[in-house]
Structure 1
Amino acid sequence: MFASSLRSRLPSQIRTFAKKAAPKKAAAPKAAAAASGSDLAHQPELKLFGIHARYATATYVAASKAGSLDKVETELLAIESTTKSNPTFSNFLNDPTVAPAEKEAQINSIFGDKMSDITVNLMSALAGNARLSETDKVVSAYSELMKAKRGEVAAVITSAAPLSAAVADQVTAALKSKVGDAKVVLSMEVDSSIMGGLQVQIGDEFVDLSVASRIDAVSRTINGPQLSEL
């Protein structure tokens, strides 16, 4: 009963949600308005915020000017992969007892002749400013800038069990119909803890249509103050 009801609501709810999540080009900041046309041509199409975003944006601009956007992305993703698969390297990045200058020297030794100057300069800057622990966030931000450049929006569909082809196609169509010209990069995940239904993450937007969330809502209602006051 719930499953059929959920399927009937999926298209409209996900389309509305996806429309809000579709990527939008950032308005040029006031400071950039005075910049040369050449500089503006290398600015990312997405405005991100935070320290990690500043590093990612500066790296994007440098890579764009050098015609190395894709190369730098590949290198950064390789570094991210290494941090996840190599505990020794990850511990080195996050070790607060190692002086920034020593980390910077080690970074130059590790990557100096293996990666582009732009990637090495980024990692050296993170090391010198004691921000190597932010590496994964910087890589993620750079990836977001690249997705915006390619007109992509990432979507993650989480279900309690693998979706049938029919339901997967229905959800995919609902997403694609509302993100305009953006290309939906879809990935499917299975999490039995949600018990049923779906969770959908697209861009920064999240919608929870899971059975677990409904049970939680019912539990909060039952245990709410309105009943205890009776």
Structure 2
Amino acid sequence: TTSHRPSALEKAMMFSKIAARQLTARAFSAAAHQPPIKVHGIHARYANAAYVAASKQGLLDQVSGELESLLEATKKHPGLKHLLENPVISREEKSSALETLLSGAASPVTINLLTTMAGNNRLADYDKVVGVYEQLMKATRGEVEATIISADPLTKGQTDQISKAIESELGSAKKVILSTEVDESLIGGLQVQIGDKFLDLSVSSKIDALSRTPV
């Protein structure tokens, strides 16, 4: 019995199926590491690249901590801030200094981000890039920032109750990061800022509305 030898057409079809499966697998793999929200602009470009690289290596939280630690260090050590922002220092000097400073103390993702920014003369925007990266991380963790503005300071019981009410509205997958402010001009009631949404439940806003109502 003679064995069947695949024709050139059959071989081409077989290879095309294998290639299609590989491309599909790569597409799914790439999508799994993309940031959960879309952010745009030059700062987002660096933050997105760092997020994808960190996600692929399972280092999202570690990179977040490293970026925040370095940002805090620039506030405490003027020399470091000077290194990042001084336009007189060459890109090569900045890149070399950062590699020496961070070698063994930070992940390759963080070092690569900083040296890339140094090479593109963008280190002065470091704080903004960190801000965007943290925005991506908050979305990854399902965190939503909410600010409650009241006429009088709120008790812990009141803030806990408000936080639970907001989480109930947003869904169990969201975690509310609540901050409070006091504005005595409100007279009474609350103003609530959740993400980019604003709700004014203050007495002063109701008085303003009444004053604008035609008699």
Equivalence for 2:170: 179
- Which of residues 197, 207, 214 in structure 2 aligns to 1:205? 197
SS in 2 for 1:153: strand
Aligned residues: 187
- What are the residue-to-residue correspondences of 1:5-24 with 2, within 5 Å? none
Q: 1:99 to 1:207 in 2, by over 3 A?
A: farther
* Deviation digits for residues 132-164 of structure 1 (CA, Å, limit 9, x no counterpart): 121111112111212222222122334454312
Within 1, Cα distance between the matches of 2:90 and 2:202? 47
SS in 2 for 1:36: helix
| Bigger mean CA deviation after superposition, 109-118 or 165-174 | 165-174
- Which of residues 13, 21, 35 in structure 2 aligns to 1:44? 35
Do the aligned residues in 1 keep the contact of 2:150 with 2:184 (CA within 8 Å)?
no
Do the aligned residues in 2 keep the contact of 1:156 with 1:189 (CA within 8 Å)?
yes
Q: 1:85 to 1:97 in 2, by over 3 A?
A: same
- Which of residues 57, 78, 82 in structure 2 aligns to 1:91? 82
The answer as to 2:63 corresponding to 1:68 is: no
Do the aligned residues in 2 keep the contact of 1:193 with 1:212 (CA within 8 Å)?
no
* Deviation digits for residues 78-97 of structure 1 (CA, Å, limit 9, x no counterpart): 11222233333223322222
Do the aligned residues in 1 keep the contact of 2:50 with 2:109 (CA within 8 Å)?
yes
User: TM-score, normalising length from structure 2?
Assistant: 0.72
Task: Give 1:113 deviation, angstroms.
Answer: 2.2
Do the aligned residues in 1 keep the contact of 2:166 with 2:176 (CA within 8 Å)?
no
% identical equivalent positions: 46
Do the aligned residues in 2 keep the contact of 1:93 with 1:132 (CA within 8 Å)?
yes
Structure 1 residue runs of 5 or longer lacking an equivalent are 1-32, 222-230
SS in 2 for 1:200: strand
Within 1, Cα distance between the matches of 2:179 and 2:50? 31
| Bigger mean CA deviation after superposition, 162-171 or 96-105 | 162-171
Do the aligned residues in 1 keep the contact of 2:153 with 2:182 (CA within 8 Å)?
no
Q: 1:69 to 1:214 in 2, by over 3 A?
A: same
Matched residue type, 1:131: R
Within 1, Cα distance between the matches of 2:202 and 2:87? 41
Task: Give 1:50 deviation, angstroms.
Answer: 1.1
Structure exhibiting the larger radius of gyration computed from Cα positions: 2
Within 2, Cα distance between the matches of 1:54 and 1:34? 25
Do the aligned residues in 1 keep the contact of 2:149 with 2:183 (CA within 8 Å)?
no
- Which of residues 108, 116, 127 in structure 1 aligns to 2:118? 127
Matched residue type, 2:91: P
Matched residue type, 2:104: D
Measured on the aligned residues, the alpha-carbon RMSD in Å equals: 3.0
Do the aligned residues in 1 keep the contact of 2:92 with 2:119 (CA within 8 Å)?
yes
Within 1, Cα distance between the matches of 2:123 and 2:201? 37
Which structure is higher in RCO with an 8 Å CA cutoff and minimum separation 6?
1
Matched residue type, 2:38: K
